[in-house]
Structure 1
Amino acid sequence: MRPQKIDDARLIEGLMSVLQSKGFEGASLNDLAQASGLQKASLYHRFPGGKNEIAIMVLRFVYEWIKDNLYLVLTEKGVAPATKLQRAVQHIRQLYHNGDKSCILNALSLDSGLVVLGDEIGKAMQLWIDAFTALGVEQGFTAAQAKAKARQSLILVQGSLVLARGLGDPSHFHKALTDLKLLFVNE
Protein backbone atom coordinates (compact mmCIF):
# COMPACT_ATOMS: atom_id res chain seq x y z
CA MET A 1 0.00 0.00 0.00
CA ARG A 2 1.33 3.45 -0.93
CA PRO A 3 1.88 6.00 1.83
CA GLN A 4 -0.84 8.56 2.21
CA LYS A 5 -0.10 11.99 0.71
CA ILE A 6 -0.72 14.85 3.10
CA ASP A 7 -0.64 18.55 2.25
CA ASP A 8 2.22 20.29 4.13
CA ALA A 9 -0.04 23.03 5.49
CA ARG A 10 -2.50 20.45 6.85
CA LEU A 11 0.37 18.41 8.28
CA ILE A 12 1.90 21.37 10.12
CA GLU A 13 -1.49 22.59 11.35
CA GLY A 14 -2.31 19.16 12.78
CA LEU A 15 1.08 18.68 14.42
CA MET A 16 1.10 22.19 15.85
CA SER A 17 -2.41 21.75 17.23
CA VAL A 18 -1.35 18.69 19.23
CA LEU A 19 1.79 20.39 20.53
CA GLN A 20 -0.22 23.49 21.47
CA SER A 21 -2.75 21.52 23.44
CA LYS A 22 -0.53 18.85 25.00
CA GLY A 23 2.97 20.31 25.00
CA PHE A 24 6.09 18.44 23.93
CA GLU A 25 6.13 15.88 26.72
CA GLY A 26 2.38 15.27 26.66
CA ALA A 27 2.11 14.72 22.92
CA SER A 28 2.37 11.07 21.95
CA LEU A 29 3.37 9.85 18.52
CA ASN A 30 -0.12 8.36 18.24
CA ASP A 31 -1.63 11.82 18.88
CA LEU A 32 0.69 13.39 16.33
CA ALA A 33 -0.02 10.72 13.71
CA GLN A 34 -3.77 11.03 14.19
CA ALA A 35 -3.70 14.83 13.96
CA SER A 36 -1.45 14.80 10.92
CA GLY A 37 -3.58 12.37 8.97
CA LEU A 38 -0.61 10.02 8.58
CA GLN A 39 -0.18 6.49 9.74
CA LYS A 40 2.39 6.16 12.52
CA ALA A 41 4.85 4.44 10.14
CA SER A 42 4.45 7.28 7.61
CA LEU A 43 5.03 9.82 10.36
CA TYR A 44 8.25 8.01 11.32
CA HIS A 45 9.27 7.92 7.67
CA ARG A 46 8.66 11.65 7.23
CA PHE A 47 10.22 12.53 10.60
CA PRO A 48 12.91 9.93 11.40
CA GLY A 49 13.97 12.08 14.37
CA GLY A 50 10.56 11.57 15.98
CA LYS A 51 8.97 14.18 18.22
CA ASN A 52 12.19 16.18 18.39
CA GLU A 53 12.24 16.67 14.64
CA ILE A 54 8.52 17.42 14.58
CA ALA A 55 8.86 20.09 17.29
CA ILE A 56 11.80 21.70 15.49
CA MET A 57 9.85 21.74 12.21
CA VAL A 58 6.85 23.33 13.94
CA LEU A 59 9.07 25.98 15.56
CA ARG A 60 10.67 26.76 12.21
CA PHE A 61 7.20 27.14 10.76
CA VAL A 62 6.34 29.55 13.60
CA TYR A 63 9.51 31.53 12.88
CA GLU A 64 8.58 31.78 9.19
CA TRP A 65 5.04 32.74 10.16
CA ILE A 66 6.35 35.57 12.39
CA LYS A 67 8.66 36.70 9.59
CA ASP A 68 5.89 36.73 6.96
CA ASN A 69 2.97 37.94 9.08
CA LEU A 70 4.61 40.27 11.59
CA TYR A 71 8.13 41.27 10.61
CA LEU A 72 7.51 41.88 6.90
CA VAL A 73 4.15 43.51 7.65
CA LEU A 74 5.51 45.82 10.37
CA THR A 75 8.61 46.84 8.39
CA GLU A 76 6.87 47.38 5.05
CA LYS A 77 7.78 50.71 3.48
CA GLY A 78 5.12 53.15 2.33
CA VAL A 79 2.35 51.85 4.61
CA ALA A 80 0.99 53.86 7.52
CA PRO A 81 2.07 52.46 10.92
CA ALA A 82 -1.55 52.18 12.10
CA THR A 83 -2.40 50.09 9.02
CA LYS A 84 0.61 47.85 9.57
CA LEU A 85 -0.31 47.35 13.22
CA GLN A 86 -3.92 46.54 12.32
CA ARG A 87 -2.74 43.91 9.81
CA ALA A 88 -0.31 42.37 12.30
CA VAL A 89 -3.00 42.18 14.99
CA GLN A 90 -5.37 40.52 12.52
CA HIS A 91 -2.71 37.92 11.69
CA ILE A 92 -2.16 37.24 15.40
CA ARG A 93 -5.91 36.86 15.89
CA GLN A 94 -6.07 34.34 13.03
CA LEU A 95 -3.04 32.34 14.19
CA TYR A 96 -4.49 31.84 17.65
CA HIS A 97 -8.07 31.30 16.40
CA ASN A 98 -9.40 34.34 18.25
CA GLY A 99 -7.79 33.26 21.51
CA ASP A 100 -8.99 29.66 21.44
CA LYS A 101 -5.53 28.20 20.72
CA SER A 102 -2.66 28.02 23.17
CA CYS A 103 0.63 29.75 22.63
CA ILE A 104 2.87 27.30 20.76
CA LEU A 105 6.01 29.03 22.06
CA ASN A 106 4.81 28.55 25.62
CA ALA A 107 3.73 24.96 25.03
CA LEU A 108 7.14 24.04 23.64
CA SER A 109 9.13 26.04 26.18
CA LEU A 110 8.17 23.63 28.94
CA ASP A 111 11.05 21.38 29.90
CA SER A 112 11.64 18.96 27.07
CA GLY A 113 15.32 18.57 27.70
CA LEU A 114 16.08 19.72 24.16
CA VAL A 115 18.38 22.74 23.99
CA VAL A 116 17.62 23.15 20.30
CA LEU A 117 13.96 23.88 21.10
CA GLY A 118 15.03 26.72 23.35
CA ASP A 119 17.23 28.10 20.58
CA GLU A 120 14.38 27.97 18.06
CA ILE A 121 11.93 29.51 20.56
CA GLY A 122 14.43 32.29 21.28
CA LYS A 123 14.85 33.03 17.57
CA ALA A 124 11.10 33.26 17.07
CA MET A 125 10.64 35.53 20.09
CA GLN A 126 13.54 37.76 19.03
CA LEU A 127 12.06 38.18 15.55
CA TRP A 128 8.73 39.19 17.13
CA ILE A 129 10.58 41.75 19.26
CA ASP A 130 12.53 43.04 16.25
CA ALA A 131 9.31 43.47 14.26
CA PHE A 132 7.53 45.46 16.93
CA THR A 133 10.68 47.43 17.75
CA ALA A 134 10.80 48.59 14.12
CA LEU A 135 7.18 49.72 14.37
CA GLY A 136 7.87 51.57 17.62
CA VAL A 137 10.87 53.41 16.16
CA GLU A 138 8.78 54.36 13.13
CA GLN A 139 6.14 55.69 15.51
CA GLY A 140 8.74 58.03 17.02
CA PHE A 141 9.75 56.16 20.15
CA THR A 142 13.42 55.92 21.03
CA ALA A 143 15.09 52.59 20.26
CA ALA A 144 15.02 51.70 23.97
CA GLN A 145 11.34 52.66 24.34
CA ALA A 146 10.43 50.77 21.16
CA LYS A 147 12.23 47.64 22.32
CA ALA A 148 10.52 47.79 25.73
CA LYS A 149 7.14 48.12 23.99
CA ALA A 150 8.02 45.24 21.67
CA ARG A 151 8.81 43.01 24.63
CA GLN A 152 5.56 44.11 26.27
CA SER A 153 3.68 43.19 23.09
CA LEU A 154 4.99 39.64 23.33
CA ILE A 155 4.11 39.45 27.02
CA LEU A 156 0.62 40.81 26.35
CA VAL A 157 -0.22 38.34 23.62
CA GLN A 158 1.45 35.23 24.97
CA GLY A 159 0.39 35.91 28.55
CA SER A 160 -3.19 36.54 27.50
CA LEU A 161 -3.24 33.18 25.72
CA VAL A 162 -2.15 31.44 28.90
CA LEU A 163 -4.81 33.32 30.85
CA ALA A 164 -7.50 32.67 28.24
CA ARG A 165 -6.71 28.97 28.22
CA GLY A 166 -6.45 28.67 31.99
CA LEU A 167 -9.69 30.50 32.66
CA GLY A 168 -11.50 29.27 29.56
CA ASP A 169 -12.20 32.85 28.53
CA PRO A 170 -10.77 34.23 25.26
CA SER A 171 -11.85 37.77 26.19
CA HIS A 172 -8.44 38.12 27.86
CA PHE A 173 -6.82 37.62 24.47
CA HIS A 174 -9.15 40.17 22.82
CA LYS A 175 -8.32 42.74 25.52
CA ALA A 176 -4.61 42.10 25.05
CA LEU A 177 -4.89 42.82 21.32
CA THR A 178 -6.67 46.10 22.10
CA ASP A 179 -3.94 46.94 24.62
CA LEU A 180 -1.30 46.03 22.04
CA LYS A 181 -2.68 48.63 19.63
CA LEU A 182 -2.68 51.27 22.38
CA LEU A 183 0.89 50.39 23.31
CA PHE A 184 2.17 51.80 20.02
CA VAL A 185 0.21 55.04 19.99
CA ASN A 186 2.63 57.94 20.33
CA GLU A 187 0.86 61.09 21.44
Structure 2
Amino acid sequence: MKPQLFLKLMHVSVREVCIPSEPDSAYFLRVAWKGRGLESGFQLLLTDGQDAWRGDVSEASVCAEAEELEMQMERYADPDPAEALRELLTHSLQRGNHLKEENQNLKEENLKMRGEHQRISAELKRYAGGTEQQCRQSADEEEDEYGGQPMKRATGSEEDPPSLLDSRCLHCQ
Protein backbone atom coordinates (compact mmCIF):
# COMPACT_ATOMS: atom_id res chain seq x y z
CA MET A 1 0.00 0.00 0.00
CA LYS A 2 1.36 3.41 -0.89
CA PRO A 3 1.85 5.81 2.06
CA GLN A 4 -0.47 8.40 0.48
CA LEU A 5 -3.26 5.86 0.09
CA PHE A 6 -2.72 4.70 3.67
CA LEU A 7 -3.23 8.24 4.97
CA LYS A 8 -6.45 8.58 3.00
CA LEU A 9 -7.87 5.50 4.75
CA MET A 10 -7.01 6.88 8.18
CA HIS A 11 -9.41 8.91 10.28
CA VAL A 12 -7.72 11.90 11.86
CA SER A 13 -8.76 14.01 14.77
CA VAL A 14 -6.87 17.00 16.14
CA ARG A 15 -7.85 18.52 19.46
CA GLU A 16 -6.41 21.21 21.66
CA VAL A 17 -5.56 20.01 25.14
CA CYS A 18 -5.73 22.74 27.79
CA ILE A 19 -4.16 22.20 31.19
CA PRO A 20 -5.76 24.31 33.95
CA SER A 21 -2.50 24.54 35.90
CA GLU A 22 -0.76 25.88 32.77
CA PRO A 23 -3.20 28.45 31.35
CA ASP A 24 -0.55 30.00 29.07
CA SER A 25 0.41 26.66 27.48
CA ALA A 26 -1.48 24.78 24.81
CA TYR A 27 -0.98 21.23 23.60
CA PHE A 28 -2.41 19.69 20.47
CA LEU A 29 -3.24 16.01 20.17
CA ARG A 30 -3.52 14.35 16.80
CA VAL A 31 -5.01 10.86 16.72
CA ALA A 32 -5.08 8.90 13.49
CA TRP A 33 -6.80 5.50 13.25
CA LYS A 34 -8.05 3.03 10.69
CA GLY A 35 -11.52 1.53 10.66
CA ARG A 36 -14.27 2.39 13.11
CA GLY A 37 -12.20 3.03 16.22
CA LEU A 38 -9.11 2.32 18.24
CA GLU A 39 -9.39 -1.45 17.91
CA SER A 40 -7.68 -1.18 14.50
CA GLY A 41 -4.62 0.48 16.02
CA PHE A 42 -3.79 4.16 16.05
CA GLN A 43 -1.08 6.77 15.93
CA LEU A 44 -0.67 9.65 18.36
CA LEU A 45 1.12 12.94 18.02
CA LEU A 46 1.23 15.39 20.92
CA THR A 47 2.86 18.78 20.47
CA ASP A 48 3.23 21.99 22.39
CA GLY A 49 4.36 23.88 19.29
CA GLN A 50 8.05 23.38 20.04
CA ASP A 51 8.42 19.70 20.84
CA ALA A 52 6.42 16.70 19.66
CA TRP A 53 5.88 13.22 21.04
CA ARG A 54 4.77 10.42 18.75
CA GLY A 55 3.47 6.94 19.45
CA ASP A 56 2.08 4.03 17.47
CA VAL A 57 -0.24 1.35 18.85
CA SER A 58 -0.86 -1.68 16.67
CA GLU A 59 -4.12 -3.56 16.30
CA ALA A 60 -2.41 -6.61 17.80
CA SER A 61 -1.45 -4.59 20.90
CA VAL A 62 -5.02 -3.39 21.36
CA CYS A 63 -6.38 -6.94 20.96
CA ALA A 64 -3.79 -8.37 23.37
CA GLU A 65 -4.63 -5.72 25.98
CA ALA A 66 -8.38 -6.39 25.68
CA GLU A 67 -7.79 -10.14 25.92
CA GLU A 68 -5.55 -9.71 28.96
CA LEU A 69 -8.27 -7.68 30.67
CA GLU A 70 -10.84 -10.28 29.57
CA MET A 71 -12.99 -7.64 27.89
CA GLN A 72 -14.88 -7.73 24.65
CA MET A 73 -13.18 -5.61 22.04
CA GLU A 74 -16.29 -3.47 21.55
CA ARG A 75 -16.33 -2.54 25.24
CA TYR A 76 -12.57 -2.10 25.48
CA ALA A 77 -12.12 0.28 22.55
CA ASP A 78 -13.76 3.65 23.12
CA PRO A 79 -16.05 4.79 20.29
CA ASP A 80 -14.58 8.32 20.48
CA PRO A 81 -10.85 7.63 20.67
CA ALA A 82 -9.72 11.23 20.32
CA GLU A 83 -11.79 12.38 23.29
CA ALA A 84 -10.71 9.45 25.47
CA LEU A 85 -7.06 10.07 24.69
CA ARG A 86 -7.45 13.80 25.22
CA GLU A 87 -8.86 13.15 28.69
CA LEU A 88 -6.10 10.67 29.46
CA LEU A 89 -3.36 13.04 28.32
CA THR A 90 -4.94 15.97 30.16
CA HIS A 91 -4.97 13.92 33.34
CA SER A 92 -1.36 12.79 32.77
CA LEU A 93 -0.14 16.33 32.17
CA GLN A 94 -2.01 17.63 35.23
CA ARG A 95 -0.53 14.84 37.34
CA GLY A 96 2.93 15.63 35.98
CA ASN A 97 2.52 19.30 36.88
CA HIS A 98 1.28 18.38 40.36
CA LEU A 99 4.28 16.11 40.90
CA LYS A 100 6.59 18.86 39.65
CA GLU A 101 5.10 21.31 42.19
CA GLU A 102 5.31 18.71 44.95
CA ASN A 103 8.96 18.05 44.07
CA GLN A 104 9.69 21.78 44.27
CA ASN A 105 7.98 21.96 47.68
CA LEU A 106 10.06 19.02 48.91
CA LYS A 107 13.26 20.68 47.68
CA GLU A 108 12.36 23.87 49.54
CA GLU A 109 11.53 21.89 52.69
CA ASN A 110 14.85 20.05 52.37
CA LEU A 111 16.74 23.35 52.18
CA LYS A 112 14.84 24.63 55.20
CA MET A 113 15.67 21.48 57.18
CA ARG A 114 19.35 21.67 56.21
CA GLY A 115 19.50 25.27 57.41
CA GLU A 116 17.83 24.29 60.68
CA HIS A 117 20.28 21.40 61.08
CA GLN A 118 23.25 23.72 60.52
CA ARG A 119 21.85 26.23 63.02
CA ILE A 120 21.35 23.55 65.67
CA SER A 121 24.81 22.07 65.03
CA ALA A 122 26.44 25.49 65.40
CA GLU A 123 24.49 26.12 68.60
CA LEU A 124 25.57 22.75 70.02
CA LYS A 125 29.20 23.46 69.14
CA ARG A 126 28.98 26.83 70.89
CA TYR A 127 27.40 25.21 73.93
CA ALA A 128 29.95 22.36 74.01
CA GLY A 129 32.82 24.82 73.56
CA GLY A 130 31.52 27.03 76.37
CA THR A 131 30.98 24.08 78.71
CA GLU A 132 34.46 22.74 78.02
CA GLN A 133 35.92 26.16 78.73
CA GLN A 134 33.95 26.33 81.99
CA CYS A 135 35.31 22.91 82.97
CA ARG A 136 38.89 24.04 82.31
CA GLN A 137 38.34 27.24 84.31
CA SER A 138 36.80 25.25 87.16
CA ALA A 139 39.75 22.83 87.16
CA ASP A 140 42.23 25.74 87.10
CA GLU A 141 40.43 27.40 90.01
CA GLU A 142 40.49 24.20 92.07
CA GLU A 143 44.19 23.70 91.42
CA ASP A 144 44.86 27.31 92.37
CA GLU A 145 42.79 26.84 95.52
CA TYR A 146 44.86 23.89 96.64
CA GLY A 147 48.08 25.45 95.38
CA GLY A 148 49.06 22.32 93.58
CA GLN A 149 49.95 20.73 96.98
CA PRO A 150 49.42 17.04 97.61
CA MET A 151 46.28 16.29 99.59
CA LYS A 152 46.03 13.76 102.37
CA ARG A 153 43.44 11.09 102.01
CA ALA A 154 41.15 10.05 104.78
CA THR A 155 43.18 6.84 105.06
CA GLY A 156 46.18 8.87 106.03
CA SER A 157 48.36 8.06 103.02
CA GLU A 158 50.01 10.88 101.13
CA GLU A 159 49.45 10.09 97.49
CA ASP A 160 49.43 12.80 94.91
CA PRO A 161 45.94 13.31 93.54
CA PRO A 162 45.63 13.17 89.78
CA SER A 163 46.13 16.52 88.14
CA LEU A 164 42.91 18.46 88.04
CA LEU A 165 43.79 19.62 84.55
CA ASP A 166 43.81 16.02 83.35
CA SER A 167 40.38 15.26 84.75
CA ARG A 168 37.31 16.53 82.96
CA CYS A 169 34.03 17.54 84.45
CA LEU A 170 30.91 15.54 83.72
CA HIS A 171 29.71 18.03 81.09
CA CYS A 172 32.82 17.49 78.95
CA GLN A 173 32.72 13.71 78.84
TM-score (norm 2): 0.23
TM-score (norm 1): 0.21
Greater fraction strand: 2
Larger-Rg structure: 2
Of structures 1 and 2, the one scoring higher in RCO (CA 8 A, sep 6+) is 1
